[in-house]
Amino acid sequence: MSKDFRQLWTDLGVNLELHDQLMANTAKLHERTHLSQKNRPRSMEYFDHSLHASHAERVAEIKEYRDQGGKSIGTFCIYVPDEIAYAADVLPIPLCGGSGWSVNYADKMFPRDICPLVRSTFGMALSGT
């Protein structure tokens, strides 16, 4: 499935080898936690897939929007008024990281004793994932 997006990731300067690790780690964790639950609503399928999509299909959508001249902003925290961004045709994209995989890659620039959310996000940036 992820093969279709390798060109996109290459174009964006993603480190493919590390990104594969991140994706495999994320998928495995999701399988162990969410997918192992019994009696789940079938409609959760879209939300399950969003885990992959937020690295792939959604990235492709945003890239296409930007390639056509559209603007987007990365946001942190829930204080950014989304409605104002949308009204100016600017896509707000929250960047808060939730992956444990990337946390230690933040060590290059950040102290260890700060928020794991910040370390996760910048770990992805610094590892090219």
Partner 1 sequence: MLEVPQRKSEPDQELWLKEVYRFKEMVENLSGVTITPEKLKEKVKLVNKKRTLMQKINEFRKLDNPPISGLDALLVAQVSLNQDIEVFNTKCEELIEELQQRVNEGISAYEKSGPRILFAGTPSPLGNAKVHYVAEASGMQIVADESCTGLRYFRDLVDETPEDMDGMIRAIADRYMKIDCSCFSPNTERIENIVEAVKEYRADGVVHNILQFCHGFNVEAKAIDMALEKINIPSMKIISDYSDEDIEQIRVRTESFAEIVATNEAAPS
Site for partner 1 contains 12 (CB under 8 A):
no
Q: Locate tokens 């999509």: which residue?
A: 53
Give the integer Cα–Cα distance in Å for 113 and 30: 27
Selected from 15, 54, 64, 108, the binder of partner 1 by CB under 8 A is 54
- How many CB atoms within 10 Å of residue 14? 21
For Cα atoms 76, 115, 104, give the angle at the middle one, nearest 5 degrees.
105
Selected from 98, 107, 108, 109, the binder of partner 1 by CB under 8 A is 98
Site for partner 1 contains 18 (CB under 8 A):
no
Token reading at 33: 């936690």
> What residues make contact with partner 1 under the rule CB under 8 A?
26, 29, 33-34, 37-44, 46-48, 50-51, 53-54, 58, 61, 70-71, 73, 77-90, 93-94, 96-100, 103, 113-117, 120
